[in-house]
Amino acid sequence: MCSLGNGYRLTGNTEYKEGLLRAADSLSILFNPEVGTFLSWPGMVKKENWPHNTIIDNMMNLELLFWAARNGGERRLYDMACEHADTTMKYQFRKDYSCYHVAVYDTITGHFIKGVTHQGLSDNSMWARGQAWAIYGYTMVYRETGEVRFLNFARKVADAYLSRLPEDLIPYWDFDAPDLSSGEPKDASAAAITASALLELSTYVTERDSSHYYYDQAEKMLEMLSSSAYKAGDTKYAFLLHSVGHMPRGGEVDASIIYADYYYLEALIRFKRLQEKRSILANL
């Protein structure tokens, strides 16, 4: 939805709409009805012996399916998205509402086998951007379905993230990274994604104190991201510094990353709209 979705929203060009509907149908091929989720990485089936693997990042893909179901696609796309969200909610989170990066399932029985990581510190750690995808994903699923269980879950995964943040509210790349005093890198991309999600979440929470809390935390995150500590300025062709792509492989460590910039801009636009008492989701 970030590319063609915004293109269609802003221009009304039907070629974008057709592309979105084709993309949703293509994505649906990866759905395993026995498991109840989408297969994320076909290549990992043999490489890592992960028969059916689902990454938390794929919560973001569900927006495409919800949109398609409303705009000429089949109802099954909506049902798949809801089932993926429910199955992920049931198996991909620990008791403290932190998430595994990857959930591995049996393709025949659909049973959950194990939770592992690929980009986080360890199988039992809380990878920062993964938790951010979860916060954003479940907030979006509530928006699309109106089902309160998804709102309640979005709040739980958000609270798990917020309770462990460092003083400047920008997380280290993994919340369980060792010896943080020695210079473990921060992940501005996780902060930008979370800030945007929290602004939306604040509009759905009915308790005044909680709504203000999510809004205030998002505002402080944006203030820090906009400071000289994280702003790229003239140093790079980017908005933000200090994101981490794939720490275990040494890829994009302490780097500027396009999805950090995307969600930073989205969060700023959302913040501006809320300041102006306008709908956070209305067309620009």
> pLDDT of 182-197, one tens digit each?
678 999 999 999 999 9
Question: What is the pLDDT at residue 282?
Answer: 66
Q: Where does residue 275 fall: left (phi above 0), alpha (psi -120 to 50 degrees), or beta otherwise?
A: alpha
Q: Are 197 and 240 contained in the same domain? A: yes
Choose one of 89, 116, 143: the last residue of a domain.
116
What's the pTM value of the predicted model, to 2 decimals? 0.96
Question: What is the pLDDT at residue 284?
Answer: 45
The answer to the question of residue 102 being in a domain is yes
Q: Are 132 and 231 contained in the same domain? A: yes
Q: Are 132 and 20 contained in the same domain? A: no
Q: Note the pLDDT tens digit of each residue in 198-225.
A: 999 999 999 999 999 999 999 999 999 9
The answer to the question of residue 85 being in a domain is yes
Residue 180 has pLDDT above 70, yes or no: no
The answer to the question of residue 121 being in a domain is no
Number of domains within the chain: 2
* Domain with 136 in it: 127-284
Give the chain's mean pLDDT. 96
Q: Are 155 and 14 contained in the same domain? A: no
Residue 169 has pLDDT above 80, yes or no: yes
The answer to the question of residue 122 being in a domain is no
Question: What is the pLDDT at residue 178?
Answer: 80
Q: Are 161 and 238 contained in the same domain? A: yes
